[in-house]
Amino acid sequence: MHAARRSKASHTLKSNEPPAAAAAAAATAATAAAETAATAEVATAAAAAAAAATAAAETEAATEIIESKRKQRALTPVLQQQQQQQQQQQQQQQQQQQQQQHSNSSSSNSSRSRSTTATAAAAAAATATATATKTSIRVMLENKESTL
- Average pLDDT of each block of 10 consecutive residues along the chain (148 residues)? 45 54 74 72 73 79 85 80 84 81 60 62 71 74 72
Alpha carbons 50 and 130: distance in angstroms, whole number: 53
* pLDDT for position 81: 83
DSSP per-residue codes, 86-123: HHHHHHHHHHHHHHHHHHHHTS-HHHHHHHHHHHHHHH
* pLDDT for res 67: 86
| Distance between CA atoms of residues 130 and 138, nearest Å | 12
- 66's enclosing H/E stretch is helix 19-105
CB atoms within 10 A of CB 123: 14
